[in-house]
Chain A
């Protein structure tokens, strides 16, 4: 993988010297993981490929995978900018500061950073409303559980993850007042061994529907082995658990990549904080298992449609946190800025948010 990054780097250098007058519009991508992770980076690369085939010869894309968050990222982003890319997408939270720095040095290049919050005149941000997918997951888990105990494997207690836990639990509670949710943190985005341990620990404690905010398919494999149900995240993970798999909440970045590239090409681009969800088809429910009961399937479709049409928004008040404080007032719906700062568990979650 490291070797591959090097080749891409060399390729970039070569293409600089070969620069011609009539060049295609060039778009660069920086990934934190391997494109074969079958999760986060895999989906970003799928978006890149669609961008490629949408524009044909008019756009040329390059990517660098496995870029560590930190000083190395700055070097890679600088290289992409120097190589004549007109638009650069950096796709992990930890690329935020390096992207900002490089953006200052290359004012003519447009930068887009995923999941961050720092913007400048040539740097925009974009993020997914994953909590919409979590809400449908929660409803489904609440209906499917027989033990009234659902499980959640967390990565790091950051707002994005806490917000998704809240959405999941509110949803489960809305269809099943007796439901309880057990949360286990593994402190990693990607550690199949640990994720397996966490899955088994939850199953041992009576969990019969498992959800995760980590990137490996290991929890689904564990669920399949132990005969319980599970919901996949980021990418379609049905093949890892043909019986256990309920559906996967799949990320789809292509619509945003195509739209943004278009706007930069015709000069209408402005730095913004973009949030995409069901309505933009940037989130979808992949491979809904045909073995689900018809009533559950109907409820999945109903919830999905309600959120997609904008008729229902999960974070609408009144919402209390688990200490009894009102965190969302009646009639108020959290704004995107407020969503980015959620650091409380909703009423009914018996754990504390880890500090």
Chain B
């Protein structure tokens, strides 16, 4: 395997990891506030189809991304109202959101199946793109990939270094205490959920505008679920999410590259791995004693009603 091929694999891994990174960054904020939203796949699909429709209709991919963000946020708002206002079970509501989004996106997008658009072109960054190897791996992508880098930095900073981050964590760890010191728990959670929705929307737009510039039903193929698992693997830390997303990218590219090089590994086995990992993590999410060890936000998945407080 020569250096050129390695560079190409890493370049492709960044591309493959990007949709996961977007959606996992959104979900980690949501979970930090104590809310588990299993509707990622549905929000992502709605983002993908609405982003594609907007870009197809206007010829402007940038508008597509904005429309996708808005759509993701709207989808998550439905979830937020149900779980925050009406106290619905988060797991059930999230699953419903996924099923709803999968069906609705297929319905809405049926008119543009098979259409293509221009999508985003790679943008070179002066100086950075000229660095040997690194420049080709990291800095010869499209604008959305750069946006994901920037978002990761911003979120890392916000969560760890700012008062806003502290508030978010307080709400997720102990909403009753946070409420007692005057933090508006529900408002923080609304914002966190909608941020998660908007990020899921961008992630979907990345699929339908950049990755494969077209719309087909169910094109996200389970990436929303993998992102949920990724958040747990990364034990709710932004740095680890970044690493995890790109590791997943390398893994999914490598199995294709190795096959091309004539390695005989059962493709069934390899294709199964991310999903097996996802199942294991889903089990962990639902078991309480695991959660504490993994540094999960302590109120994750629990309903909070401020009216119950004395």
List the interface of chain A (C-beta within 8 A of B). Answer: 1-4, 34, 36-38, 66, 151, 182-188, 190-198, 200-202, 204-205, 207, 216-218, 221, 239-240, 350-352, 354-355
Task: Assess whether B260 is in contact with A151, with CB atoms less than 8 Å apart.
Answer: yes
A221–B8 Cα distance when bound, in Å, is 18
- The chain B residue with its CB closest to the CB of A207 is B260
Write the nearest CB–CB distance from B68 to chain A, whole angstroms: 16
- B16 interface contact, C-beta 8 A: yes
Task: Assess whether B256 is in contact with A34, with CB atoms less than 8 Å apart.
Answer: no
Write the nearest CB–CB distance from A42 to chain B, whole angstroms: 8
Task: Assess whether A354 is in contact with B268, with CB atoms less than 8 Å apart.
Answer: yes
Contact of A200 among B12, B107, B207, B223 (CB under 8 A): B12
Task: Assess whether B252 is in contact with A34, with CB atoms less than 8 Å apart.
Answer: no
Contact A351:B216 (CB < 8 A) given known A197-B253, A204-B5: no
- B217 interface contact, C-beta 8 A: yes
- The chain A residue with its CB closest to the CB of B207 is A193
Write the nearest CB–CB distance from A348 to chain B, whole angstroms: 13
Task: Assess whether A2 is in contact with B103, with CB atoms less than 8 Å apart.
Answer: yes
Contact of B114 among A185, A194, A217 (CB under 8 A): A217
- Bits for B101-113, please: 1 = Cβ < 8 Å to A, else 0: 0010011001001
Residues of B within 8 A of A151 (CB): 260
Residues of B within 8 A of A204 (CB): 5, 8-9, 12, 257
Write the nearest CB–CB distance from B133 to chain A, whole angstroms: 15
Contact of B113 among A37, A198, A352 (CB under 8 A): A37
Task: Assess whether A350 is in contact with B262, with CB atoms less than 8 Å apart.
Answer: yes
List 26 interface pairs A-B (beta carbons < 8 Å), by A numbering. Answer: A4-B107, A4-B110, A183-B259, A183-B260, A187-B267, A192-B211, A192-B212, A192-B216, A193-B211, A193-B220, A193-B221, A193-B223, A196-B212, A197-B16, A198-B256, A200-B8, A200-B12, A202-B256, A204-B8, A204-B9, A216-B212, A217-B114, A218-B214, A221-B116, A351-B264, A354-B268
- The chain B residue with its CB closest to the CB of A152 is B260
Task: Assess whether B264 is in contact with A216, with CB atoms less than 8 Å apart.
Answer: no
Residues of A within 8 A of B106 (CB): 1-2, 34, 66
**Number of residue pairs spanning A and B whose beta carbons lie under 8 angstroms apart:** 115
A355–B269 Cα distance when bound, in Å, is 10
Name B203-261 residues within 8 Å CB distance of A.
207, 211-214, 216-217, 219-221, 223, 252-253, 256-257, 259-261
A1–B102 Cα distance when bound, in Å, is 10
Task: Assess whether A201 is in contact with B12, with CB atoms less than 8 Å apart.
Answer: yes
Residues of A within 8 A of B162 (CB): none
Residues of B within 8 A of A190 (CB): 216
- B271 interface contact, C-beta 8 A: yes
Write the nearest CB–CB distance from A150 to chain B, whole angstroms: 11
Write the nearest CB–CB distance from B256 to chain A, whole angstroms: 4
Task: Assess whether A355 is in contact with B259, with CB atoms less than 8 Å apart.
Answer: no
- The chain A residue with its CB closest to the CB of B5 is A204
Task: Assess whether A1 is in contact with B107, with CB atoms less than 8 Å apart.
Answer: yes
Chain B facing A: main interface SS: helix
A2–B103 Cα distance when bound, in Å, is 7
Task: Assess whether A36 is in contact with B114, with CB atoms less than 8 Å apart.
Answer: yes
Residues of A within 8 A of B217 (CB): 1, 34, 37
A204–B9 Cα distance when bound, in Å, is 8
A265–B15 Cα distance when bound, in Å, is 55
Task: Assess whether B212 is in contact with A218, with CB atoms less than 8 Å apart.
Answer: yes
Residues of A within 8 A of B220 (CB): 193
- The chain A residue with its CB closest to the CB of B272 is A187
Name B1-44 residues within 8 Å CB distance of A.
5, 8-9, 12, 16
Task: Assess whether B114 is in contact with A38, with CB atoms less than 8 Å apart.
Answer: yes
Contact of B271 among A187, A201, A350 (CB under 8 A): A187
Contact A36:B113 (CB < 8 A) given known A1-B107, A221-B212: yes
A66–B217 Cα distance when bound, in Å, is 10
Q: Which of A151, A182, A201, A217 has the most CB atoms of chain B within a 10 A radius of its CB?
A: A201
Residues of B within 8 A of A218 (CB): 212, 214
Residues of A within 8 A of B256 (CB): 184, 186, 197-198, 201-202
Residues of B within 8 A of A36 (CB): 110, 113-114
Task: Assess whether B212 is in contact with A185, with CB atoms less than 8 Å apart.
Answer: no
A218–B110 Cα distance when bound, in Å, is 18
Contact A194:B268 (CB < 8 A) given known A34-B113, A204-B9, A217-B114: no
Task: Assess whether A354 is in contact with B267, with CB atoms less than 8 Å apart.
Answer: yes
**Apart from A34-B106, A187-B267, A188-B221, what 9 extra A-B contacts exist at CB < 8 Å?**
A34-B110, A38-B113, A192-B219, A196-B212, A200-B8, A204-B12, A207-B260, A216-B216, A351-B259
Residues of A within 8 A of B252 (CB): 194, 197
Residues of A within 8 A of B223 (CB): 193
Contact A182:B260 (CB < 8 A) given known A197-B12, A197-B252, A204-B8: yes
Task: Assess whether B107 is in contact with A193, with CB atoms less than 8 Å apart.
Answer: no
A260–B69 Cα distance when bound, in Å, is 50
Contact of B216 among A2, A37, A200 (CB under 8 A): A37
A200–B106 Cα distance when bound, in Å, is 27
Contact of A193 among B5, B212, B266, B268 (CB under 8 A): B212
Task: Assess whether A201 is in contact with B260, with CB atoms less than 8 Å apart.
Answer: yes
Task: Assess whether A201 is in contact with B107, with CB atoms less than 8 Å apart.
Answer: no
Contact of A355 among B116, B212, B221, B266 (CB under 8 A): B266
Task: Assess whether B260 is in contact with A191, with CB atoms less than 8 Å apart.
Answer: no
Contact A194:B221 (CB < 8 A) given known A2-B106, A221-B214: yes
A116–B217 Cα distance when bound, in Å, is 26
A37–B221 Cα distance when bound, in Å, is 16
Q: Which of B214, B259, B271 has the most CB atoms of chain A within a 10 A radius of its CB?
A: B259
Write the nearest CB–CB distance from B167 to chain A, whole angstroms: 37
- Bits for B40-70, please: 1 = Cβ < 8 Å to A, else 0: 0000000000000000000000000000000
